C-alpha cells in the first residue's frame, strides 16, 4: 500500500487582528517574551542567591585579613630590633674591615723598614699614616724615609721631626705620609 499524504486544511478564516502589527507583536510577546521574562527572573534569582555566597567570601576574607594584620603587628617589634642589629652589624663590619686593612698595612710597613729602625708609634687616620720611632743610624733613617716614599698609594711624605738623642743612642723621627691615588 502506498503511503497517503494528508493535507491540512484550515477552514477558519484568519482574523484581521492577527495579521496586523499589534497582533503579531502580542503573539510574539506571549511566546518569546514569556521566555525572556523567565530568563530574566532566573538571572535575578541567581544574582540574589549569589549575594549570600559573596557575603560569606567577603566575611572570610575580612577574618583572614584581620588575622594576618595581627600576625604582622606582632612582628613589628622583632623587625625593629633586627634593623637595629643590622645597623650595628654594619658598623662592626666596617670597623673590622678597617682593622684588617690597618693590620695588612702594618705588616707591609714592618717588612719595608730597615733593621736599624724601631717604631714607637703608628697612626692610621683617613688620608694619612704617621710613624714615630728611632733609627740607629742616619743610614737607617734614610732607608725608613725611602720605604715610606715607596709604600703603596703614598702621595707625599712630610718629615715632622728629626733629632739626635744621645740617651736612646739614635735619631728620633716622626714622618707623616699622605695617602692618595697616584704617587708624585
Residue 171 binned pLDDT confidence (cut-offs 50, 70, 90): confident
Give the pLDDT of residue 2. Answer: 62
Return the exposure string of 147-180: e unless at least 16 CB atoms fall within 10 Å of the residue's CB, then b: bbeebeebeebeeeeeeeeeeeebbbbbbbbebe
pLDDT at 56 over 90: yes
Neighbouring-strand partners of residue 158: 176
- Residue range 148-172: average pLDDT? 82
| Residue with the three cell numbers 491540512 | 8
Q: pTM for the whole thing?
A: 0.44
Portion of the chain with pLDDT greater than 70, in percent: 90
User: Cell for 117?
Assistant: 729602625
Residue 134 has pLDDT above 80, yes or no: yes
Q: H/E element holding 96?
A: helix 76-112
Task: Report residue 70 as a C-alpha cell.
Answer: 595581627
Does 116 have pLDDT greater than 60? yes
- What is the pLDDT confidence band of residue 100, given thresholds at 50, 70 and 90? low
Q: What is the pLDDT of residue 184?
A: 43
Res 120: pLDDT: 84
Q: From CA 141, how far away is CA 131, in angstroms rounded?
A: 12
Distance, in Å, from the CA atom of 83 to the CA atom of 75, rounded to the nearest integer, reads: 12
pLDDT of residue 144: 81
**Mean pLDDT, rounded, of the chain:** 83
Please state the rounded mean pLDDT for residues 66-87.
91
d(C-alpha 84, C-alpha 151), whole Å: 39
What is the CATH T-level fold of the domain 114-179, as seen in this structure? Alpha-Beta Plaits (3.30.70)
Phi and psi torsions of 17, nearest 5°: -70, -35
Q: What is the DSSP letter of 9?
A: -
What does the pLDDT look like over 102-113, one tens digit per residue?
A: 666 677 777 777
Amino acid at each position: 500500500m502506498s503511503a497517503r499524504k494528508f493535507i491540512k486544511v484550515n477552514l477558519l478564516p484568519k482574523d484581521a487582528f492577527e495579521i496586523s502589527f499589534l497582533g503579531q507583536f502580542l503573539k510574539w510577546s506571549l511566546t518569546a517574551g514569556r521566555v525572556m521574562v523567565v530568563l530574566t527572573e532566573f538571572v535575578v534569582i541567581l544574582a540574589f542567591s549569589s549575594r549570600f555566597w559573596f557575603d560569606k567570601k567577603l566575611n572570610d576574607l575580612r577574618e583572614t585579613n584581620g588575622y594576618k594584620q595581627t600576625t604582622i603587628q606582632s612582628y613589628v617589634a622583632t623587625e625593629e630590633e633586627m634593623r637595629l642589629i643590622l645597623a650595628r652589624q654594619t658598623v662592626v663590619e666596617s670597623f673590622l674591615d678597617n682593622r684588617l686593612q690597618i693590620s695588612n698595612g702594618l705588616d707591609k710597613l714592618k717588612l719595608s723598614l730597615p733593621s736599624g729602625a724601631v717604631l714607637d708609634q703608628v697612626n692610621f687616620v683617613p688620608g694619612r699614616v704617621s710613624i714615630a720611632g728611632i733609627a740607629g743610624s742616619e743610614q737607617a733613617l734614610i732607608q725608613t724615609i725611602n720605604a715610606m716614599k715607596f709604600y703603596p698609594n703614598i702621595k707625599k711624605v712630610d718629615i715632622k721631626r728629626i733629632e739626635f738623642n744621645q740617651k736612646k743612642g739614635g735619631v728620633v723621627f716622626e714622618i707623616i705620609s699622605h695617602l692618595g691615588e697616584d704617587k708624585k
